[in-house]
Amino acid sequence: MKGDKDTGMHKLNMTAIGESALLVEFGNHIGEQVHEWVQAAAARLETDPFPGYLECVPSFTTLTVYYDLLQVKNAEGNGTAFDYVSSLIGKRFESIVADGTRPREVVEIPVCYGGEYGPDLAYVAEVNGLDEKEVIHIHTSRELLVYALGFAPGFPYLGGLPDGISAPRRATPRLCIPAGSVGIAGSQTGIYPLETPGGWQIIGRTPLALFQPEQDPPVLLKSGQYIRFKVIDPSEYERLAGGSR
Amino acid sequence: MSMEVVKPGLLTTVQDLGRKGYAKYGIPKTGAMDGYAHRLANWLVGNHACEAALEITWSGFSVRFNRDMLVAITGANLAPVCGRIAVPMWRPVWFRAGSELSFKRPVSGCRAYLAAAGGLDVPQVMGSRSTYLRAKVGGLHGRSLQAGDMIPVKLTRHADKPLFVGAANSASEVFCAPAWSAAPRDGYGGTDMVVRVTRGREYGDFREEAIQRLIAESYRVQPDSDRMGYRLSGPPLLLETQREYISEGVADGTVQVPADGQPIILMADRQTLGGYPKIAQVISVDLPLVAQLPPGGSIRFREVSIAEAERLYCEAARELRLLRRMINYKLKED
């Protein structure tokens, strides 16, 4: 069920996700170089789709490709459609390049940390042997790459979080987390655009709207941008939240 | 305005076949949970499969038709009645203006589909009429239906089909239906529903015992299951080594397992990326069966190969094409 394609640069591992999707793995660690390849591959499929291609979803180290099995089946010969699509994708990815020279676009995200806005801040501090202020300082100290949008509309998956404030996901996901909540899961951090269930440790909340369905595109952030978190106090949060809603 | 909601029931939403092309923004596909029943409901009233219909969950929904209307009910048998007369399912039904259709109690399955000739006339949001409840977009005002809601239905030439015009003029009944029906899909919501799966990407990361349990044991549907995911409970499925995974794309029917070992089947309103290990993937043709399982229902998984999953998918598509041709033939004949 796995097909390997060598791009010359690195080996691509492809895995079937049922009978209508497959996942291409560009590496097994989170890094900006691997992500450049993911973005380049997504761009290649968007400009040069194979027959039956529906859409693709980039993430940290992988690109998931969705296809219409019936259209693929019309074109393929022997073997599985998965093998056939794998070979089509492998050929397209032979010629992609990722030169890492694009300019950096930074979006500032105001966050009110701790208290009712960040119920897990104390837990994140405790598992890392820090106090809450140190966690906040580290969380706002870097520009973080938006690797992917997913989980919910406009939810940014961010990389580059320093190891010092990582924390495991909750063993059982919470059934309801408020919109704007900023969370940590392992070495990832992100922002919930909607009220939703989820298993991340919540350390703060932003008043910005990350998802606006009437806009085109309907999301605030794009993968490939950088964001920087900025501390605001509860009164600033209320002022910004009131102003944007 | 064409249909008035008298009672909203437990949960009734407008759904079509879902949003496509927005997954990269993290926008879920949504759409009908039982895509098979949804398609058939549309075909039975002469619509394209992509038209919006009502997804009626569990019981208590009731609607009044404000003009003569051609309607089909498919999916779960929620004991539909008009007056005190049972309304037949899986076939076109002509309702006279003023008649009221009510769903009394679940007999089998838990989601019924009601399509009207022409399709429900609500605006498209991001290319679809489907309601996405968590984001409050699509469908009727982005929410489930409430008493007093007026649901517009497009006008269509199917409304002047000879059989129904004749019946509507002569019959004293409030509704009438032809003697034929499309074959209903049986076995909705039974106990120990067999659901076929292919291996998930992290299948090999689970303990041998977990792999055996997945196939040998039965898993029960929890009450907090919804359109986003079916939460199951049963013997825990544990990893060989506990670790964090990097979030990546998932699909309808992906079976992911949080650290507590209780599997979750991702459904129509699922997130676009997931970070829990994936032990299995429910094959597309069996997903409607999962969607019809009520809380307390139980599932047994059976493994098939990717080649077999592809074959079953193509076979089901062939059967659907044939079914559609027969329905179209019958609609013309009538």
Q: Does A19 touch chain B (CB under 8 A)?
A: yes
Which residues in chain B are closer than 8 Å to A60, comparing Cβ atoms? 246-248
From CA A148, how far away is CA A145, in angstroms rounded? 9
The predicted pLDDT at position A3 comes to 42
Predicted confidence (pLDDT) at residue A5 exceeds the cutoff of 50: no
pLDDT at A171: 84
Query: Do the chains contact at A152 and B271, CB–CB below 8 Å?
Result: yes
Measured CA to CA, the distance from residue B68 to residue B84 in angstroms comes to: 19
> Are the CB atoms for B266 and B252 separated by under 8 Å?
yes
Asked if A153 lies within 8 A of B251 by C-beta distance, the reply is no
Share of chain A above pLDDT 70, in %: 93
Given a cut of 60, whether residue A226 has pLDDT beyond it is yes
- Partner residue facing B259 (CB), from A171, A187, A223: A171
Give the pLDDT score at A76. 73
What number is the average pLDDT over the span A106-124? 96
Beta carbons of A153 and B27 less than 8 Å apart: yes
Digit-by-digit pLDDT tens for chain B (334 residues) are 699 999 999 999 999 999 999 999 999 999 999 999 999 999 999 999 999 999 999 999 999 999 989 999 999 999 999 999 999 999 999 998 999 999 999 999 999 999 999 999 999 999 999 999 988 999 999 999 999 999 999 988 755 565 565 565 655 678 888 888 887 766 676 778 999 999 999 999 999 999 999 999 999 999 999 999 999 999 999 999 998 899 999 999 999 999 999 999 999 999 999 989 999 999 999 999 999 999 999 999 999 999 999 999 999 999 999 999 999 999 887 6
Of B23, B25, B251, the CB nearest to A17: B251
Burial B125-156 (b: 16+ CB within 10 A, else e): bbebbbbbbbbebbbbebebbeeebebebeeb
- pLDDT at residue B174 in the model: 80
CA distances from residue A71 to A50, A121, A229, B40, B306 in whole angstroms, order as listed: 10, 49, 45, 21, 17
Residue of B17, B19, B24, B285 best to disrupt the A interface, most CBs of A under 10 A: B24
Please check the confidence at residue A1 and state whether its pLDDT lies above 60. Answer: no
The Cα B167–Cα B159 span in angstroms is 12
Whether the ipTM is more than 0.90: the answer is: yes
Q: In this model, does residue A52 exceed pLDDT 60? A: yes
CB pair distance less than 8 Å for B272 and A150:
yes
Q: What is the pLDDT confidence band of residue A173, given thresholds at 50, 70 and 90? A: confident
* pLDDT at residue A87 in the model: 95
Closest residue in A to B225 (Cα–Cα): A175
Is pLDDT at A8 greater than 60 in this prediction? no
- Which residues in chain A have Cβ-Cβ distances shorter than 8 Å to B283? 18-19
Q: Which of B23, B8, B13 is nearest to B271 (CA)?
A: B23
Q: Is the pTM of this model over 0.95?
A: no
Average pLDDT (A207-230) is: 91
Q: CA-to-CA distance for B303 and B309, rounded, in angstroms?
A: 10
Query: Do residues A5 and A12 touch, judged by C-beta distance below 8 A?
Result: yes
A188 touches B at CB < 8 Å: yes
Q: What is the pLDDT of residue B49?
A: 97
- The predicted pLDDT at position B332 comes to 83
pLDDT band at A245 (very low <50, low <70, confident <90, very high): very low
| pLDDT given for residue B169 in this prediction | 61
- What would the mean pLDDT of A71-92 be, rounded to a whole number? 90
The rounded distance, in Å, linking the Cα atoms of B284 and B33 is 11
* Main-chain phi, psi angles of A180, to 5 degrees: 90, -5
Q: Which of B143, B225, B306 to mutate to test the interface with A (most CBs of A within 10 A)?
A: B306
Flag if B281 and A23 touch (Cβ within 8 Å): no
Size of interface A-B (CB pairs under 8 A): 164
Residue A220 has pLDDT above 90, yes or no: yes
Q: Whole-angstrom Cα distance, residue B47 to residue B159?
A: 12
Please give, rounded to a whole number of angstroms, the shortest distance from the CA of B178 to a CA of chain A.
Answer: 33
What average pLDDT does the structure give for chain A?
89
B246 → chain A, closest CA residue: A60
Find tokens 């939460």 and name the residue: B231
What per-residue confidence (pLDDT) applies to A147? 92
Phi then psi dihedrals of residue B173, to 5 deg: -65, 160
User: What is the per-residue pLDDT for B164?
Assistant: 62
The three-state DSSP-derived secondary structure of chain B is CCEEEEEECCEEEEECCCCCCCHHHCCCCCCCCCHHHHHHHHHHCCCCCCCCEEEEECCCEEEEECCCEEEEEEEEECCEEECCEECCCCCEEEECCCCEEEECCCCEEEEEEEEECCCECCCCECCECCCEHHHCECCECCECCCCCCEECECCCHHHHCHHHHHHHHHCCCCEECCCCCCCCCCCCCCCCEEEEEEECCCHHHECHHHHHHHHHCEEEECCCCCCCEEEEECCCCCECCCCCCCCEECCCCEEECCCCCCCEEECCCCCCEECCCEEEEECHHHHHHHHCCCCCCEEEEEECCHHHHHHHHHHHHHHHHHHHHHHHHHHHHC
Q: What is the pLDDT of residue A99?
A: 77
Per-residue pLDDT, A7: 43
Put simply, the answer to whether A171 touches B258 (Cβ < 8 Å) is: yes
Asked whether the predicted pLDDT for residue A4 surpasses 50, the reply is no
A102 pLDDT tier (thresholds 50, 70, 90):
low
